[in-house]
Copies of this chain bind each other. A is one copy, B any other.
């Protein structure tokens, strides 16, 4: 057992181990915060050297699946750790402004029939039904964002049975990660300017026909699976949407 590699399979040993662990995390068999087996044990089990185990684990640290604490152990990471490369909106007046603290109000959560282009974006059949979540975000009592989210019912069963505060106290992605083990890996966004329609203008307390920022967002979880399509209308006179690349 000096060499686990054969001529037929050029896949490095560390890579196989790395993939094995990644899969366990993606399937939810190893959950965020959990301490995994120490290097030494993993090396014994897989009959490889410590160095090989180290390489596999460090690669997964780089990819954001694990984090390590010297003297304590190796742990499964949650979305928050990967969030340094995943930025959600912040609202600023200018580049030196402090971040605005937003309050969330849930307007409506209901089941709706599948529709286009939503289902196409979510990569589900057109007859699959959706959850529709309408929310209003406030900055100091003033509404500044109105958003409508669409999620596959099949993926988030019984979402309507959760208490309302779940959607008002934490961001949607935090709620979904906790309750459905669906971490956000990356987002796609489209930015545009549009004119507020009557309903949106009323909700955002602006005059009908004013220019608002329109953002379409598609959020992806593991294996490039889209799980949320969201449309947002933002009042940007005072505060603009901030993005750090």
Contact = CB atoms under 8 A, between A and B. Distances in A.
B191 A245 contact: no
A10 interface: no
A83 B183 CA distance: 25
A92 interface: yes
A111 B32 CA distance: 54
Interface string A42-78: 0000000000000000000010000000000000000
A244 B226 CA distance: 13
Nearest to A218: B95
A27 interface: no
A94 B229 CA distance: 12
Interface in A205-225: 211-216, 218
B216 A192 contact: no
Interface of A is mostly: strand
A157 B35 CA distance: 55
A243 B217 CA distance: 9
A236 interface: yes
A95 B216 contact: yes
28 contacts: A62-B62, A85-B85, A95-B117, A95-B216, A96-B121, A186-B245, A187-B243, A187-B245, A188-B242, A188-B244, A189-B242, A189-B244, A189-B245, A190-B240, A190-B241, A191-B241, A191-B242, A192-B213, A192-B236, A192-B241, A193-B211, A193-B212, A193-B213, A193-B234, A195-B211, A211-B211, A211-B212, A243-B243
